[in-house]
Structure 1
Amino acid sequence: MTAVPPRVEQRTRANGIELAWDSFGDAGAPPLLLVMGLGAQMVAWDDAFCARLAEAGGHRVIRFDNRDIGHSTHLSHLGVPDIQALMAQAMAGQPLRTPYNLRDMAADCVGLLDALGIARAHIVGASMGGAIGHELCIHHPHRMLSFTSIMSTTGAPGLPPPTPEAMAVLFTPSPTTFEAYLPHYARAWRVLRGPSDFPLDEARDAEKAQLVFLRGLNPAGVARQLAAILASGNRKPALRDARVPTLVIHGDADPLVPVACGVDVADAIPGAQLLRIPRMGHALPIPMWPQIVDAISAHTAHTARHPNT
């Protein structure tokens, strides 16, 4: 794999907090904003993946740490939510009071675009980042050139749940020492990648775990993000009015957000195209990069040629 020169990370004031970000590609190229998932830092968008996406699509690819993760603002003063209590309230149909919700995190994206002087951008969101993208489609469609939703869900009731193993990954606290965190990270991604083996990715787990650990963990922030997901509920009815050109990418072997959830996203957004990728779990494995990058690049190029479709 070709080495990518280190990025210059910056911190920018956006929506009342600071967001850490960096970018790939020509600063004057059409912007593409990557939005990552629950508890995942911006480096979960691999450097080489971002560089490939910038080159293939002719984009300025921007990635950032969501609030409460990585080098962005940690909202420690908001306390740690009781996730079990919130889940019980959600199952009982009760309204949830949480430190923030996904609409607030979508406003962070808009604030970052504002700070960078970007009027409209292509948005690509993975997992929770896809759900944040749904909120952008609902509340800020005028800021979007196109949308790609990867391994995400509308939050509609009745969709298949995660496997027990994937649910265990979600609720297992991260160890506080690197010696314990390394095997924890490797075990988690073995589950999330699904039943197929991906030796190229597994060979890099130690390197990726060290990068994430050194940038800093924030378990309380992950709990607040999870509370935001629970509080945001079912987006499917609102998405039926979305008019953003949308591509949905989902793996057939996703143990955390089953592929039926991706089918549901594509069904919810008018005109959305669905790409199902065999063997792909809840991850972006290196062997699938060419297919994913090509699909996103074709989608954004089509949008540029046909802005009203």
Structure 2
Amino acid sequence: MTIEMARHRDIELAYETIGPPTGEPLLLISGISQMLIWHDDAIAGLVERGFQVARFDNRDTGLSTHLHHAGRPSKLDLLLRPTQAVRYHLTDLADDAVSILDALNWRSAHVVGESLGGMIAQSMAVRHPDRVRSLTTIGAGPSPRIGGPRVRTLLRFLALARKPINSAEDYAEHMVALELVAGSPDYPQDETWLRELGKRSYERGHDQAGVERLSVALRASGDRRGELAAVRVPTLVVHGLADKTARPVAGRATAAAIPGARLVTYPGMPSHVPPQLWPDVINEIAAIAGLDGDIHSSATAH
């Protein structure tokens, strides 16, 4: 797979495509992690279902532009004054995502976002409704004030964020420690894959200040429920009932805000989709995109 670059104003965004050009266009939007967070096996499953998949590094992550000149937000910025400390907004990140479609000459695409990526996808559907064929959000709420992490969990995240990372091995350990905070015992993560993800991410350009700038953008984003009421594309909301970063009330609020949205929840699932649930979730995404195939899901639909 070849990394290519898209441009949005002064921001360059690294992206890659997987699957045949005859497939239904599908854009994966990651959150604060690099595009590597979308597991290759999950992408292969999407390609098998008939999609051509694109994934990319958000600004301030991976091989995309890092805004070093914007400085590093403080812990107080993140906790108490994100709207004053924000360097860019969710709308900017949504416009970045549209630039990937432009670079691919995709008039529109099915859009899937996880965590912060789900919030970006929501903003994209609001701001650019003609570019979104279907919308899937995973572990994302319509406002940072609905179902956010409890204070104890947030403080644990902040403690990890402030621990120095000076090598690929350090970041591999960081990924394992992060999973201990955000993961679920019902779906233990593959530590070998996590460590490899950490090493590759560090080598591609890990930037903790960039992670925190993205975190401030998340915390400073407003309530999108009024805007989401105007979304008319087929929408799927996937949420884990063991999600600690966006508690289940966040997913329910997203589904309630979008007319006709399908809410699917999984007991024991954390903020990310574990490998055991990929077949179910891929099936749900294919169904909401209008591809052939019935839904045979072990989830709870609402």
- Decide whether the 8 Å contact of 2:17 with 2:54 is kept in 1: yes
Number of aligned positions between the proteins: 290
Normalised to the residue count of structure 2, the TM-score between the two structures is 0.89
1:113 positional shift: 1.0
Q: What value does the CA root-mean-square deviation take over the aligned residues?
A: 2.0
- Decide whether the 8 Å contact of 1:156 with 1:236 is kept in 2: no
1:203 positional shift: 3.7
After superposition, the Cα gap between the structure-2 partners of 1:191 and 1:245, relative to the gap in structure 1 and judged at 3 Å, is: same
Structure 1, unmatched stretches of 5+, are: 1-6, 304-309
- Decide whether the 8 Å contact of 2:144 with 2:218 is kept in 1: no
Q: Deviation per CA, 1:79-99: give whole Å up to 9, x if none.
A: 223351353236xxxx53522
After superposition, the Cα gap between the structure-2 partners of 1:156 and 1:230, relative to the gap in structure 1 and judged at 3 Å, is: closer
The aligned counterpart of 2:234 is 245
Alignment of 1:33-44 (within 5 A): 33-38=27-32, 40-44=33-37
After superposition, the Cα gap between the structure-2 partners of 1:97 and 1:169, relative to the gap in structure 1 and judged at 3 Å, is: closer
The aligned counterpart of 1:10 is 4
**SS at 2:43 equivalent:** helix
- Decide whether the 8 Å contact of 1:15 with 1:111 is kept in 2: no
**SS at 2:66 equivalent:** coil
Q: 1:115 aligns with which of 96, 103, 107?
A: 103
The aligned counterpart of 1:258 is 247
* % identical aligned pairs: 37
Alignment of 1:143-222 (within 5 A): 143-155=131-143, 157=145, 159=147, 161-162=149-150, 164-165=152-153, 167-173=155-161, 175-198=165-188, 201-222=190-211
1:219 positional shift: 1.0
**SS at 1:149 equivalent:** strand
Normalised to the residue count of structure 1, the TM-score between the two structures is 0.87
The aligned counterpart of 1:50 is 43
The aligned counterpart of 1:31 is 25
**SS at 2:137 equivalent:** strand
Q: Deviation per CA, 1:86-139: give whole Å up to 9, x if none.
A: 53236xxxx535221000000001112112211110000000000001111211
- Decide whether the 8 Å contact of 2:118 with 2:138 is kept in 1: yes
The aligned counterpart of 1:89 is 81
The residue identity in structure 1 corresponding to 2:60 is D
The aligned counterpart of 2:268 is 279
Structure 2, unmatched stretches of 5+, are: 293-302
1:209 positional shift: 1.8
Distance in 2 (CA, whole Å) between partners of 1:246 and 1:172 is: 34
Distance in 2 (CA, whole Å) between partners of 1:33 and 1:205 is: 23
- Structure 1 stretches of 4+ moved >6 Å: none
Distance in 1 (CA, whole Å) between partners of 2:60 and 2:257 is: 29
Distance in 2 (CA, whole Å) between partners of 1:63 and 1:176 is: 27
Moved more, 139-148 or 108-117: 108-117
**SS at 2:206 equivalent:** coil
Distance in 1 (CA, whole Å) between partners of 2:145 and 2:171 is: 34
